[in-house]
Structure 1
Amino acid sequence: MRPEDADTPVTEAELHAWLDGQLPAARQQEIEAYLASRPEEAARLADYRGQKAALRALFDPVLDEAAPARLLRAAAPRQPWYAQRWVAGLALLLLGTGAGWGMRSALPAGGDATALALAAARSPEGFARRAAVAHAVFSPDQRRAVELDAAHEEQLSTWLSRRMGAAMKPPHLQAQGYALEGGRLLPGGQGPVAQFMYRDSEGRKLTVYVSNELGPAGAASAPAHAGVPASAMPTTAFRFAREGRVNVFYWVDGAYGYAITADAGRQVLADVSNEVYRQLVSE
């Protein structure tokens, strides 16, 4: 894409440089004038800024984490360079061997590195991380947070069910304080993923993320969370994870993974997870 002004061409690269504040002051002002006369372009750039802010909010806290002591010790060389290189090579060899051995049960017979990577991507932890990133990217979007809104709930259900190959009805969470905003289709590791988005009375977002790619490799059992009654447990117990500033409650049931993500406390997510699971088993 190459938007153009009548006098001075404005490239897509310049628009992104403007968004990142990397243009000279004079050109920055020209781009601002260009966008002032093109509200659709300005809105598109505003969406990009929102997605960028969401990703920074999700991953910036990692920058403030203290470096592990083992890395600090490694930063102070106490051996000749050739000895360090030999030790580093041995460590990498052992790490690679250990990782491959640790995931051998997830690989098919004769599996290769591609299969190993796929098995890692299908893990419950990787699934929860993708759900958190999807939440962080789309929740702040004021214009395109969903592809089909709640006014078209039946159409949304039909569309997602067809693409996912199973009934996909958005859970009703009014009793938990969340109203449906709509949903969208997202790319997964090997196929589509469904995301339903909700909003509470104060405008805070919650998303329900559903994938059918987990399969047996992702169905390892986990201890129940204290806030979730044992009677409500799916085949794989609820798990809790924190990714950046958002919390995730997730579980795997057969080939399907479900993740509830929000900037909310554990008990809130536990209550919502219970209700989502209750509605799933009652269908």
Structure 2
Amino acid sequence: MIDNRKQLEAQLSAMLDGELSDADRAAVEALIQADAQARAQAEMLKSVDDFGRLHFADLLKEPVSLDLVRSIKTASEPRRAVRLPKAGPGRPRIKPTLNVVIASSLLMFSLGAGAGYMFASRPQMTTYADLAGDPNKAWLDDVVSNYRLFSRQSRHLVEVPAAESAHIVDWLMATTGVSFRIPDLRSEDLEFVGARLYSAGGRPVGQLVYRNRDAEVIAISFAKSLTPSDADMQEVIRDDIGLVVWHGQQASYVLTGPSSDAYLDGLAGKIAGII
């Protein structure tokens, strides 16, 4: 028989964690059925446990900062695992009381709310709102929409395969009016897959499609420029899509890929010197 409140809390907590033997679990369940006070305590503990799990799950859904994602992907050396000493024999295990569980749940809720506030109020990188005065904004919106749609394709990723590179150059030059060369990016671990043609901002846009070692799609889009020549590159983040935008003397270019790719800006610089 469980003869005190603290022991009952410990047994109820162990039962919720699935740590009781069949015999102990049956004894606790029998007590809950027979004792109204034990039943109320069990229900309260279960509600606190559910509350904590719910808000912890919500916290895991918070977006991870782009800086953290890029730091992980660009880490040069893996961290060495730290071997923790084994617990000594006979060391008693401390079970949290109901008050500790409630306090922990409330703390978790506060941390989740604080994290949400910080992410909501944190200044972001260049956004489309920042480009509102740019006459190319409309076509950039279409570039993003096109990438989001076609990059999920597999069988129909491109219209003309890489094997027909000569035809790709003639076809896209005649349609877009932009002279270009297909960059060889094998040194960057990018495989040229083929090309596409679509419309963005009311202009025909040529697109060269590549895949990296992770099977992620990297695309180069180009169209006749509506703005004066601007050598400066601008990096834009749109949700999970990253863009690097620049303008040549006759054409505007956009390199598009996953926003977690830390090398898009450097890759764009290399492409600008080739295309």
User: Given the two structures, how large is their TM-score scaled by the length of structure 1?
Assistant: 0.47
Q: Which has the larger radius of gyration?
A: 2
